[in-house]
């Protein structure tokens, strides 16, 4: 971490690309394409083959140039091995208190999934750093804005349904950052090795962040 604020690097990255790659090679290629387009937040999900090995290789290649994490963390073993490989944050699609405790025990930033107010309360009680609003496409920015009413101090990262056109609206609704999957890096583009398309889309996301947060973003 570059700051005592556990969310400093997440805020700085703003966009986290959620990679569900068909192969380790595709995940590596997609990450290079995303970095070329200005997206430096990378989440390698455990639906990607050899996810921990991919994380380790990306850390070797890029060091702190990339804000790197593991997603679809479903077990304490996932949490341990991915942090050992170099993950700076961990993401689970939902919240189980025992899993949240294991993730927090690694010492890195933890994002845990929730959708309803009751689920948000479970995540907050578990002590996670960020609530991953998922699937955010079900309610859109208006839903996040409503959740911010009873939970004004909870950091939210919406994932699902976020694109370059609505990114500014999500940030205006109170998101500290956003997660973007197929809207940013589709499985089809990764499978085809269409790195140019991925880089072009990453540039659109980067431009949207600059427009929303200013040229220093």
Asked if the bond preceding 135 is cis, omega within 30° of 0, the reply is yes
132 catalytically annotated: yes
Q: Can you tell me the distance from the alpha carbon of 8 to that of 198, in angstroms, rounded to the nearest whole number?
A: 26
Please pick, among 32, 43, 98, 183, the residue that the annotation labels catalytic: 43
Q: Where are the beta strands (DSSP E) in 20-163?
A: 41-45, 67-71, 89-92, 109-114, 130-133, 156-158
Selected catalytic residue, list 57, 65, 98, 132: 132
Are 185 and 19 a contacting pair, CB within 8 Å? yes
43 a catalytic residue: yes
Active site residues: 43, 132
């Amino acid at each position: 971490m570059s700051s005592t604020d556990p969310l400093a690097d997440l805020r700085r990255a703003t966009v986290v690309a959620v990679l569900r790659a068909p192969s380790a090679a595709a995940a590596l290629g997609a990450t290079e394409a995303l970095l070329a387009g200005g997206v430096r937040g990378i989440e390698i999900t455990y639906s990607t083959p050899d996810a921990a090995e991919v994380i380790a290789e990306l850390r070797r290649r890029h060091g702190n140039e990339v804000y790197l994490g593991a997603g679809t963390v479903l077990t304490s073993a996932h949490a341990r091995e991915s942090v050992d490989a170099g993950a700076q944050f961990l993401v689970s699609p939902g919240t189980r208190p025992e899993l949240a405790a294991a993730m927090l025990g690694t010492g890195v930033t933890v994002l845990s999934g929730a959708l309803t107010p009751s689920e948000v309360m479970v995540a907050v009680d578990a002590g996670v750093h960020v609530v991953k609003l998922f699937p955010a496409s079900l309610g859109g920015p208006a839903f996040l804005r409503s959740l911010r009413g009873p939970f004004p101090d909870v950091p939210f990262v919406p994932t699902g349904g976020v694109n370059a056109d609505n990114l500014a609206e999500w940030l205006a609704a109170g998101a500290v950052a956003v997660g973007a999957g197929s809207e940013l890096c589709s499985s089809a583009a990764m499978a085809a090795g269409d790195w140019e398309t991925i880089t072009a889309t990453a540039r659109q996301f980067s431009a949207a962040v600059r427009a929303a947060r200013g040229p220093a973003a």
